[in-house]
């Protein structure tokens, strides 16, 4: 039995970090989010640009992502910033308080001075940080982990080294009762039939094909053809030649376990095992969706050394080739390029990733955390109104 030490929340979930965050529910409050966070050492600002002037579908997705982020197992407490008493900050606060999360909301309006709001925010955050420092880690089983699987800056080695090694890890943690969530719908185009055939039943397979087809249809409505636009110029520089080559390599992150469920962006799995989340290929938005859906840790393969991180979840970077590890060791946690050099097998690197994951769950800092790579963005489905 594999275990780690995490933070048990009031709703029963387990976190691997104990952050206190400030998050804005309206884009206009980006600067104030930073300003309030800076008043109390250790508080993390989570900044996003949605929440207003959005179509209904987009607004629902924004609210869902805000709820999943502020109520994440890695978050001890969250301060929400809104504009006006009827802002969505109240909706998010009320929902999370019903789930026993430690949250509060501040509202910027004409009846309260900025100085007063800053003082109120500072006072609440100081108490929240003090409370978080008193919280202790407890032993938990790896079956309680949700692990996001993502990539960025793929190259010709991605589908040969890092992605199959992540797939080996994915199968291992699923066998141990845990959950892995593969993302980036665009990265499955050209190989969607393979993942559909991997589904636990025909219904799940059809759900997966539907999100791929719907995504591609939305892209076509803009006048673009995603199939001809892939691989990207960066992918081609890295040696990828066709969409199929890229997609076949990307889906290897999911391993060979049955696909048990297909979920929307920032939704939480209702099943354990191997899951697929509908996200864009843009890694910042994809990682934000994975974490809002409950992933306590994200695995991220890269052939070009992408530094993408997260404000609330540790992101473990797996380099695809020896050169990227040599040049960017400060951003890479695991060197899958050793497979090319004949030093390790795919399964051995998969085991190394698993060990790194447990160390990270226990509190070991990843490269992205060390460098404070805290990118955050919510996937937008339509233009601003």
The pairing of beta strand 297-302 with beta strand 146-151: parallel
Task: Give me the pLDDT at residue 245, please.
Answer: 67
Task: Give me the pLDDT at residue 97, please.
Answer: 97
Question: CA–CA separation, 291 vs 298, rounded Å?
Answer: 8
Q: Tens digits of per-residue pLDDT, 178-218?
A: 999 999 998 888 899 999 999 999 999 999 999 999 998 88
Cite the beta strand spans of the chain per DSSP E.
3-8, 14-15, 19-24, 44-46, 75-83, 103-108, 138-141, 146-151, 179-182, 259-263, 273-277, 297-302, 315-319, 334-335
Task: Give me the pLDDT at residue 156, please.
Answer: 82
Q: How many helices (H) and strands (E) does the chain have?
A: 14, 14
Task: Give me the pLDDT at residue 385, please.
Answer: 76
**Residue 223 contacts by C-beta under 8 Å, 6 or more apart in sequence?**
none
Parts of the chain with a pLDDT under 50: none
Question: CA–CA separation, 16 vs 37, rounded Å?
Answer: 21
pTM of the model: 0.95
Q: Tens digits of per-residue pLDDT, 260-274?
A: 999 999 999 999 999
| Element holding 376 (H helix, E strand) | none
Q: Tens digits of per-residue pLDDT, 80-105?
A: 999 987 789 999 999 999 999 999 99
| Tokens at 136, concatenated | 């202790």
Task: Give me the pLDDT at residue 243, please.
Answer: 60
Residue pair 275/75 in contact by the 8 Å Cβ criterion: no
**Residue 153 contacts by C-beta under 8 Å, 6 or more apart in sequence?**
234, 238, 302, 303, 304, 305, 306
Q: Tens digits of per-residue pLDDT, 52-67?
A: 889 999 999 999 999 9
Question: CA–CA separation, 188 vs 274, rounded Å?
Answer: 15
What is each CA distance from 183 to 24, 147, 265, 269, 278, in whole angstroms?
A: 25, 11, 9, 13, 6
Q: 93 in helix, strand or coil?
A: helix
What is the per-residue DSSP string for 24-48?
Answer: ESSGGGHHHHHHHHHTSTT-EEE--
Task: Give me the pLDDT at residue 232, please.
Answer: 59
């Amino acid at each position: 039995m594999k275990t780690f030490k995490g933070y048990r929340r009031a709703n029963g979930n387990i976190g691997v970090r104990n952050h206190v965050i400030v998050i804005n529910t309206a884009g206009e409050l980006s600067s104030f989010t930073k300003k309030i966070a800076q008043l109390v050492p250790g508080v993390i600002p989570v900044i996003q640009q949605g929440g207003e002037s959005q179509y209904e579908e987009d607004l629902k997705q924004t609210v869902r992502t805000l709820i999943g982020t502020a109520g994440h197992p890695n978050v001890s407490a969250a301060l929400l910033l809104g504009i006006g008493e009827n802002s969505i900050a109240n909706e998010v606060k009320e929902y999370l308080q019903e789930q026993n999360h430690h949250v509060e909301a501040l509202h910027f309006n004409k009846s309260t001075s900025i100085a007063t709001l800053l003082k109120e925010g500072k006072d609440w955050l100081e108490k929240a940080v003090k409370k978080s420092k008193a919280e202790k880690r407890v032993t938990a089983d790896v079956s309680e982990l949700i692990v996001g699987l993502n990539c960025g800056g793929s190259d010709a080695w991605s589908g040969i080294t890092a992605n199959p090694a992540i797939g080996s890890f994915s199968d291992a943690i699923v066998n141990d009762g845990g959950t892995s969530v593969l993302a980036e719908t665009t990265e499955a185009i050209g190989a969607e039939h393979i993942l559909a055939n991997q589904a636990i039943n025909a219904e799940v397979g059809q759900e997966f094909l539907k999100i791929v087809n719907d995504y591609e249809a939305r892209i076509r409505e803009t006048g673009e053809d995603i199939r001809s636009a892939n691989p990207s110029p960066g992918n081609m520089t890295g040696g990828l030649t066709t969409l199929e080559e890229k997609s076949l390599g990307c889906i290897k992150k999911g391993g060979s376990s049955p696909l048990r469920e297909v979920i929307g962006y920032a939704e939480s799995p209702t099943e354990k095992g191997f899951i697929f989340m509908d996200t864009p290929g843009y890694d910042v938005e994809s990682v934000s969706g994975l974490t809002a859906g409950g992933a306590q840790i994200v695995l991220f393969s890269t052939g070009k050394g992408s530094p993408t991180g997260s404000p609330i979840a540790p992101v473990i970077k797996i380099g695809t080739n020896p050169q990227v590890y040599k040049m960017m060791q400060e951003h890479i946690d695991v060197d899958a390029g050793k497979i090319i050099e004949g030093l390790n097998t795919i399964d051995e690197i998969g085991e190394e990733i698993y060990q790194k994951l447990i160390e990270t769950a226990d509190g070991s800092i990843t490269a992205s955390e060390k460098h404070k790579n805290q990118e955050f963005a919510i996937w937008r489905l339509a233009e601003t109104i």
